[in-house]
């Protein structure tokens, strides 16, 4: 059997009620939600379990909510003895990956992503920045489009390189609009505006980076016990100083998700397990390489079926 990677979802995968069933059944799972409430001095667990969705979707809530839920699910899954050779996460999910790799404690991770969410929301006045998904255009042609618009004074750049034919652009409202029109003219099949609270992973996020730096400097970052494939470089990292540096860069740099998945495949990963709500990353991984196995673990039933499938593979 080849190597296994645990991957963790980013913002957008949140859903009211995620993790609730597990938390009600397993006290050790509930501990994650109560700990998050304590760290944030906030009833985050109530928002996760009961909503409303609009409140859960706020960046300041969605980020700690997803990290908490993913870690709670991982805790239950790890009892099966399945070990990862690599971990990675999409944007916010990179923090979950770092907690899973023991580079950060759970409490530090929850605190860091709450602060990150606050800084991201405040970096650009509401309504001035946005993001859009561009479908059916390769990265070189889309990069040429965004570079041209960016140089003309309307900030826009590639933000999430998710899989072949699916790239998210980010920047000023006008920059994204102009780049979207030009992308269609260059052959893009569709341009879909995203409902986000800011231009994440663009140069407009740089004001938030010094604030995040101060927060990360206050944490007891450790070397990762499992290599974490960084969004910014698509390379494995484990040294605490490098992790910190890449988390700062991640705020205003593109998420190289397609490259990260390909890197793990090149390093021998043939099984990807998405731990957390939704199946966004599993879908992207299938589009990157259909020959690898992908599983999603979000509740007790999926947890058991993945464990059974992995056992069968070993027999």
Q: Which of 45, 70, 201, 260 is catalytic?
A: 201
Task: Assign domain 3-123+204-314 to a CATH class.
Answer: alpha beta
State yes or no: is 201 an active-site residue: yes
Higher pLDDT, 279 or 81: 279
156-179 mean pLDDT: 97
| DSSP per residue, 152-207 | TT--EEEEEEEETTEEEEEEEHHHHHHHHHHHHHTT-SEEEE---SS-TTSGGGHH
- Find the mean pLDDT for residues 157-178: 97
Q: Which of 13, 45, 91, 253 is catalytic?
A: 91
d(CA 165, CA 161) in angstroms, rounded, equals 9
Assess whether pLDDT exceeds 70 at residue 28.
yes
| Average pLDDT, rounded, for the chain | 96
pLDDT of 312: 86
- Going from N- to C-terminal start, the domains of the chain cover 3-123+204-314, 129-196
Residue 125: pLDDT band (50, 70, 90) is confident
Question: Which CATH number describes the domain made up of 129-196?
Answer: 3.30.70.250
Q: How far is CA 178 from the centre of its chain?
A: 27
CA distances for 120 relative to 46, 69, 207, 240, angstroms: 23, 21, 9, 23
Q: What is the pTM of this model?
A: 0.96
Determine whether 210 is an active site residue: no
């Amino acid at each position: 059997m080849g190597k296994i990677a645990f991957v963790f979802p980013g913002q957008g995968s949140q859903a009211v009620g995620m993790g609730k069933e597990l938390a009600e059944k397993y006290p050790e799972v509930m501990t994650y939600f109560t700990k998050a409430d304590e760290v944030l001095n906030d009833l985050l667990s109530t928002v996760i379990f009961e909503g409303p969705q609009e409140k859960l979707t706020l960046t300041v809530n969605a980020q700690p909510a997803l990290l908490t839920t993913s870690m709670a699910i991982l805790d239950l899954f790890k009892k099966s003895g399945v070990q990862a050779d690599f971990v990675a996460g999409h944007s916010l999910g990179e923090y979950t990956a770092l907690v899973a790799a023991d580079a950060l404690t759970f409490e530090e991770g929850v605190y860091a992503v709450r602060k990150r969410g606050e800084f991201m929301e405040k970096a650009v006045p509401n309504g001035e920045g946005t993001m859009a998904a561009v479908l059916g255009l390769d990265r070189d042609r889309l990069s040429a489009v965004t570079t041209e618009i960016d140089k003309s004074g309307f900030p826009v750049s590639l933000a999430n390189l998710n899989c072949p034919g699916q790239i998210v652009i980010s920047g000023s409202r006008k920059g994204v609009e102009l780049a979207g029109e030009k992308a269609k003219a260059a052959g893009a099949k569709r341009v879909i505006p995203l409902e986000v609270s800011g231009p994440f992973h663009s140069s407009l996020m740089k004001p938030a980076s010094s604030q995040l730096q101060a927060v990360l400097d206050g944490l007891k970052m450790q070397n990762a016990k499992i290599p974490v494939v960084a969004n910014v470089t698509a390379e494995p990292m484990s040294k605490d100083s490098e992790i910190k540096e890449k988390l700062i860069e991640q705020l205003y740099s593109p998420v190289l998700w397609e490259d990260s998945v390909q890197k793990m495949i090149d390093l021998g990963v043939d099984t990807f397990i998405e731990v957390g709500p939704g199946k966004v990353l599993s879908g992207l991984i299938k589009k990157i390489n259909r020959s690898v196995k992908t599983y999603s673990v979000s509740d007790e039933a999926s947890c058991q079926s993945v464990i059974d499938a992995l056992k069968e593979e070993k027999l």
